[in-house]
Structure 1
Amino acid sequence: MLETKALSASLGVEVTGVEDPFDDALIHRCVEALKWRGVLLIRGVHLDDEQQIAFCARFGEVASVRGKQVFTVSLDPTMNPSAEYLRGTFHWHLDGTTDDDVPIKATALTARQVAMAGGGTEFASTYAAYENLSEHDRKRCANLRVVHSFAAAQLKAKPDPSAKELAGWRRLPEREMSLVWRRRDGRRSLVIGATADRIVGMDPVESRALLDELEESCTQERHRYTHDWQVGDLAVWDNTGILHRALPYDRSSERTLHRSTIVGDEPFG
């Protein structure tokens, strides 16, 4: 029997009793869960790549990069050419804050192999964080704009880079956007995380303190869910309002996840 339960007070839905992952009733529940609860988990569904693409397509257009719609997430550089940059994913972030005006709508991960220790994924709701701000803090944040950069995220992961590394990171363009994202459906969320470098026009020390304060508030236990992967698990989350990070695991681990993303339709703003 198809059943759903909350993963935490602030976010997430786990779906159990799944016999057919493409059943219309299941898909309807999943679409609603993703919209209103931010994180969708189906344990042990064991989708292959083709099925993962088909499942994601029920939520929107599946993004394709150089003809691929499924990408391997691994610290093994022979499996993932971008493995070196995955260190940045150990810090809270939203995907796409430095890339596009319209971020990806959602991300899906299927677990193919898991780490013996660590390697979970944590999620935190920036919708819930905004809703729980005091009226004073909402007014303080209302018109602030934040500069996001790839360098800011990489410096968290590697605070002592070589001059060549730092120069390479800083060659990538920065992006400026509102701290408070006023959504089409009337909700508000915060655009924060590891890429949030500085608040425009604010003293650097005060800027860093406020960004750190907001991230700490957003990621406190009541707004957070930690997922310990099992082989075959599928997790899908709203990339526009859910911060996420990988928990550390051994670089030699065979932890392997397959990732697909769903094209966004709402620009940062």
Structure 2
Amino acid sequence: MNTPNAERYEVRQIKPLIGAVVDSDKATLLSGRHSAEIRGMLEDRGVIVFPQVHFTDEEQVEFTKTLGKWVPEMHGDVFKISMDKTVNPQADYTKGAFYWHIDGTMQQVPLFASMLTCKKKAPVGGNTEFCNTYAAWDALPDEEKARLDGLRVVHSFVNAQLYVEPEPDLALFERWRALGTNELPLVWTHTSGRKSLVLGSTADHIVGMDPIESRHLLVRLRDWATQERFSLSHTWSVGDAVIWDNTGTMHRAMAYPLDCDRQMHRTKLEGEEAFA
């Protein structure tokens, strides 16, 4: 029989190659007793859902700290993701989240993980989709792995923003261009020895390849990595928390009415290894 102080902690897989649900009470998660297991699940499952745990901002930060080194946001402990500019002055930039991406491809050391909690959900749409780029690499034929390993990709803020604003004026384009580029491996060999694909909306072109052939390969690999068996779509309920391994997944938000009051709060964990 359950008692008021009984720990609740149950884990189940969502799909064979991605996702887990941890059904737990808040106190158990905040205690850190299962932190090592949760970290292990992040690499193995990519995405972990904590249904309707209803963290406050302070509790979300506290839980994030049990899993690694918490990184404060630019304007506070959490980043309030909203299309309302009175809530999120970076709303225009946030529109880039509607396209597949990895956080941190403009740095040498990307975030280890990010967590979102749902404060207000969209009336329609607004799911967050994830794909497992470890599993996508593992499933490629050996001959293709041999062709891809060693290729380099130039990433740019320009490429990501062209998804949002395909015909910028020159002044806007030059502001994007000023943020520079970053050359990364197409195939990331992690310190664990595992490999994952480094793709997403910032991927501009493959070094030394014909531009059209380069674009074709990047689109084909994105379609491969985001196919049904490697991906999942999370339908939000208020109070849900979702954390994902930013080094082995891509993610994107699905469309929703931009004038609605959808609001997510994000915390993040500092990167622990460089792209290699």
What TM-score do the two structures reach when normalised by structure 1?
A: 0.96
The alpha-carbon distance between structure 1 residues 182 and 75, as it changes in their structure 2 partners (threshold 3 A), is same
Alignment deviations for residues 53-80 of structure 1 (CA, whole Å, 9 cap, x no partner): 1100011111124462211000111111
Kindly indicate whether the alpha-carbon contact (under 8 Å) linking 2:32 and 2:63 is maintained by their aligned counterparts in 1: no
Moved over 6 A (4+): none
1:68 is matched with which residue: 55, 59, 76?
76
- Is 157-166 or 112-121 further displaced after alignment? 157-166
The alpha-carbon distance between structure 1 residues 60 and 220, as it changes in their structure 2 partners (threshold 3 A), is same
Kindly indicate whether the alpha-carbon contact (under 8 Å) linking 2:73 and 2:267 is maintained by their aligned counterparts in 1: no
- Is 226-235 or 16-25 further displaced after alignment? 16-25
Matched, 1:216 2:236: no
Alignment deviations for residues 90-123 of structure 1 (CA, whole Å, 9 cap, x no partner): 010000101x211110000010000000111000
Give ranges in structure 1 of 5+ residues lacking alignment.
Answer: none
Q: Secondary structure at the match of 1:22?
A: helix
Alignment deviations for residues 20-55 of structure 1 (CA, whole Å, 9 cap, x no partner): 222444333322211211111100100001100110
Identity %: 41
**1:90 aligned partner:** 98
How many positions carry a matched residue from both structures? 268
CA RMSD of aligned residues (A): 1.2
In structure 2, C-alpha distance between the alignment counterparts of 1:110 and 1:140, rounded to whole Å: 40
Alignment deviations for residues 112-151 of structure 1 (CA, whole Å, 9 cap, x no partner): 0000001110000110110011111101111100000011
In structure 2, C-alpha distance between the alignment counterparts of 1:19 and 1:51, rounded to whole Å: 9
Q: Secondary structure at the match of 1:202?
A: coil
Q: Secondary structure at the match of 1:112?
A: strand
Alignment deviations for residues 230-263 of structure 1 (CA, whole Å, 9 cap, x no partner): 0000000000111000001111111000001100
In structure 2, C-alpha distance between the alignment counterparts of 1:184 and 1:121, rounded to whole Å: 28
The one-letter amino acid of 1:34's match is: L
In structure 2, C-alpha distance between the alignment counterparts of 1:255 and 1:82, rounded to whole Å: 15
Kindly indicate whether the alpha-carbon contact (under 8 Å) linking 1:124 and 1:225 is maintained by their aligned counterparts in 2: yes
Matched, 1:196 2:203: yes
Kindly indicate whether the alpha-carbon contact (under 8 Å) linking 2:30 and 2:59 is maintained by their aligned counterparts in 1: no
Q: Secondary structure at the match of 2:115?
A: strand
- Is 63-72 or 45-54 further displaced after alignment? 63-72
Q: Secondary structure at the match of 2:18?
A: coil
In structure 1, C-alpha distance between the alignment counterparts of 2:67 and 2:258, rounded to whole Å: 33
Matched, 1:178 2:185: yes
Matched, 1:26 2:34: yes
Give ranges in structure 2 of 5+ residues lacking alignment.
Answer: 1-7
In structure 1, C-alpha distance between the alignment counterparts of 2:90 and 2:150, rounded to whole Å: 35
**1:144 aligned partner:** 151
**1:233 aligned partner:** 240
What TM-score do the two structures reach when normalised by structure 2?
A: 0.94
Q: Secondary structure at the match of 2:34?
A: helix
